[in-house]
Chain A
């Protein structure tokens, strides 16, 4: 086949066109993110002050106050959610990867994927039925539990995937040294996969930090500091929700600030993920 010059020019053009298309698409992906960040900073940065981080909501109509309780509340809920999500998810992931039969494991994985797709409000309803009704009141426990439910299948799948990536030969080498299986898992396999597991946990936390619907009728929100966990508790998404639809300008502005803080929180978690991806003995990946 003879390569003519017209042939050549056409192919060059085609190549450039495709390259250009890819660049445009990449740009289109980043564009909304850039727009959101820009908007958030423009609208919300002005409301960020010390009072915002330390104060509590003032009564409707008054100017001032802050979302300190909501920020702390979100953090508390994350901790509670992790207490549920991390042990169940990690241990479940260990079971799937290291033990279990073929058929049972594929069923567990299937159901975990199904649960991943359950709308978060449904988890809120489950927590409502399990905790709010018996306790006859909204609480941090309920909110933490609902968020924990969401975390479990996420952490389970990421843990399992990371453990499966640990080469079989490490397990065999450890067993060949005469170590029992549980010790092999705890002292050899888990440390090797630790970074990946923590990454999975942080990702799950980032995901649930922004969940609003399940908290609507579990944590419920609080206009003051939460004093103990059996009380309703404020959370950033809830607070943003109620401020954003309110008719008060000050509250609207504070909603933007809250959204900015929430995005910043998620950003920090992602940064943590990146930092954890480089371990003690690994080069930059």
Chain B
């Protein structure tokens, strides 16, 4: 899917971006061939961020952040309140455009394409980069099934068979199908908190994004629901790139492959999750992670 395609072209375009590399195990001299269906053999950047700065009126909230988000992996963003993590996340799908006083500078590329380019519509970017919010927000006037397909239906997809198929597929991916398959017409708000959040994930997945942004998705949930969401994230990363903002460090340690620590608008440290949580390089990271501040 090209960022400059018109909505009509997108409707008829095939699934998701097929540019992503598959496992590079076809060479005969490769002794350690990965198993079939494994993730890309070498790390590949889904999102390439260079010198991203975000201003709200005169206030600079993000200071020249540069980071490479790896495809088909989970990247966690941690940091104390007000450090800019949600601001960073929202810059990745152009959500700041809703705020008149917001200004974004810098370069963000999604699989090589500049998402803030001149002829790129934010609407298209947001279909490739989906978002799930902290408090689950299924649309109250719609049923469960309607909520899942709302992104497709309101973009003109009418084919009932396809909608049904996508409903099942998305709900299965969100590990919710078995619980709701008999009551797809029930109101979405009749589900429990954890189920509603998984419904929102299914809704986001139904439009087949390539990247899924999650802003503290489990912070409003009980431990059992939280653990289901974390299992879900681990499953989803096989096919999607996931960026998750969390203030729960144990969750970041459990669920992510890479972790970025933000402090006061700056990216302080970015590395493999085990390294960040057992032996961080920066003192500020160490202090935050051991709970000495924040």
Contact = CB atoms under 8 A, between A and B. Distances in A.
Q: Do A and B interact? A: yes
A14 interface: no
**Dominant SS at the A interface?**
helix
Contacts of B123: 178-180
A192 interface: yes
Contact of B133 (A173, A183, A279): A173
Interface in B181-231: 187, 189, 200, 203-204, 207
B268 interface: no
A280 interface: yes
Contact of B155 (A178, A191, A192, A194): A178
Given A177-B130, A178-B207, A281 B187 contact: yes
Interface residues of B, number: 27
Nearest to A188: B139
A284 to B, nearest CB: 15
Interface stretch (B64-72, B93-101, B106-114, B162-170): B93-101
Contacts of B187: 280-281
A172 interface: yes
Interface string B73-97: 0000000000000000000010100
A101 interface: yes
Contacts of A192: 139-141
Interface in B135-155: 135, 137, 139-141, 150-151, 154-155
A5 interface: no
A173 B98 contact: no
Given A191-B141, A192-B139, A281-B187, A169 B130 contact: no
A175 B126 contact: yes
Contacts of A177: 126-127, 130, 150-151, 154, 203-204, 207
Contacts of B154: 177, 179, 183, 187
A180 B200 CA distance: 19
Given A101-B100, A175-B95, A177-B150, A169 B126 contact: no
B44 to A, nearest CB: 24
Interface in A162-178: 167, 169-178
A41 B20 CA distance: 79
A280 B150 contact: no
A187 B139 CA distance: 10
Contacts, number: 70
Interface residues of A, number: 23
Contacts of B135: 169
Contacts of B62: none
A281 B140 contact: yes
Given A183-B154, A281-B187, A176 B93 contact: yes
B127 A173 contact: no
Contact of A178 (B98, B127, B133, B139): B127
B131 interface: yes
Nearest to B190: A281
B279 to A, nearest CB: 36
A187 B152 CA distance: 13
Contacts of A169: 133, 135, 137
Given A183-B154, A281-B187, A281-B189, A178 B124 contact: yes
Interface in A230-285: 279-281
Closest 10 CB pairs of A and B: A178-B127, A176-B131, A177-B151, A281-B187, A169-B137, A178-B126, A191-B141, A173-B137, A178-B123, A180-B123
Given A172-B95, A178-B123, 14 more contacts: A169-B133, A170-B137, A172-B98, A173-B137, A173-B200, A176-B130, A176-B131, A177-B126, A177-B154, A178-B207, A179-B155, A180-B123, A187-B154, A281-B187
Interface of A: 101, 167, 169-180, 183, 187-188, 191-192, 194, 279-281
27 contacts: A101-B100, A167-B137, A169-B137, A170-B139, A170-B140, A172-B98, A173-B200, A174-B139, A174-B150, A175-B126, A176-B93, A177-B126, A177-B130, A177-B203, A178-B126, A178-B127, A178-B155, A179-B155, A187-B154, A188-B139, A188-B150, A192-B139, A192-B140, A192-B141, A194-B141, A280-B141, A281-B141
